[in-house]
Structure 1
Amino acid sequence: MQTFKKEERLCNKRLIDGLYHNGSSFLCYPFKVSWLVIEQPQPAPAQVVFTVAKKRYKHAVDRNLLKRRMREAYRLHKQEQLYNFLEQTGKTIILSVSYIGKEISEYAFIDKKMQKLFTQLCEGLAK
């Protein structure tokens, strides 16, 4: 099912702080990904937050456009590339995807890189 429900969004400030302080991270240009395996049960296999730096993109419309493109690419590929892996291994994670690119990328590019990001994330979780 290709949806992106409230349960899949990471809103808890305490969890976000823990993610940035204790989580692992890697670069998959134009994204910087931070992730942390969570022990307590979560409503979804993965909870995610998308960020775009205000310092780099001054206009809210640009930040919103990038976040919208990132969310859409995530929504379309999460099930077969991430959730299936998480359910097999029995893990739940929290995830932060930050956009660090210098220019506003086309959706096709973001989509391709999001798939690469899922592959890298699964490799990192498997270790």
Structure 2
Amino acid sequence: MDQSFKKTEKLKSQKLIEKLFSDGKSVAAYPLRLVYIKTSFDDAAKIKAGVSVSKRHFKKAVDRNRIKRLMREAYRLNKSKYFNNIPDQYAFMILYTGKSDIDFKTISKKMNTLMDVFLREQSNPKP
């Protein structure tokens, strides 16, 4: 898996997003939360991911877009480290649940923690 974030890897299907929030499972590493669901795609993508920031906590679109850019970049840089050997296909939505602004170094560290928690959850699923 390369370090790009191609169009085929972006979560865009409204039906899949609705299914993700209704049936998906969740893990968290404050201020990030990952909602995921095991699924299958028509294309070769192993994981389709989307990011979201609450409008309630960040009124200005400029602030929301900045945090979303940082989250996408942290995901893009770290995804090959975590998902090269994953056998299944997943849909991800990464949510920013914090109330204050954040820098890239912190968000990258939290993204690594979040992916570790996700992989641990997948290796030891709860009944």
What TM-score, normalized to structure 1? 0.92
Alignment RMSD (CA, Å) = 1.1
* SS in structure 2 of the partner of residue 85 of structure 1: coil
What per-residue deviation string (whole Å, max 9, x for no partner) do you get for residues 55-87 of structure 1?
110000000000000000000000111x2231x
Stretches of structure 1 lacking an aligned partner (at least 5 in a row): none
Which residue number corresponds to residue 19 of structure 1?
A: 20
* SS in structure 1 of the partner of residue 50 of structure 2: strand
- 2:122 and 2:45 map into 1 onto residues whose CA distance is 17
Please give the residue correspondences for 1:35-50 in structure 2 after superposition, counting only pairs within 5 Å: 35-50=36-51
Which amino acid is the alignment partner of residue 33 of structure 1? L
Query: Percent of aligned positions with the same letter in both sequences?
Result: 33
Which residue number corresponds to residue 34 of structure 2?
A: 33
* SS in structure 1 of the partner of residue 85 of structure 2: helix
Which residue number corresponds to residue 80 of structure 2?
A: 79
- 1:12 and 1:45 map into 2 onto residues whose CA distance is 15
Aligned length: 123
Q: Which of 89, 98, 101 is matched with 2:98 structurally?
A: 101
Q: Return the structure number with greater helix share.
A: 1
Which residue number corresponds to residue 112 of structure 1?
A: 109
Which amino acid is the alignment partner of residue 117 of structure 1? L
- 1:117 and 1:85 map into 2 onto residues whose CA distance is 17
* SS in structure 2 of the partner of residue 101 of structure 1: coil
- 1:31 and 1:119 map into 2 onto residues whose CA distance is 13
- 1:85 and 1:28 map into 2 onto residues whose CA distance is 22
Stretch moving more, 56-65 or 116-125: 116-125
Q: Per-residue deviation at 1:28? A: 1.0
- 1:42 and 1:23 map into 2 onto residues whose CA distance is 21
Q: Per-residue deviation at 1:41? A: 4.4
* SS in structure 2 of the partner of residue 104 of structure 1: coil
Q: Which of 102, 122, 126 is matched with 1:125 structurally?
A: 122
Structure 1 runs of 4+ aligned residues shifted over 6 Å read none
User: Is residue 47–residue 90 contact of structure 2 (8 Å, CA) maintained in 1?
Assistant: yes
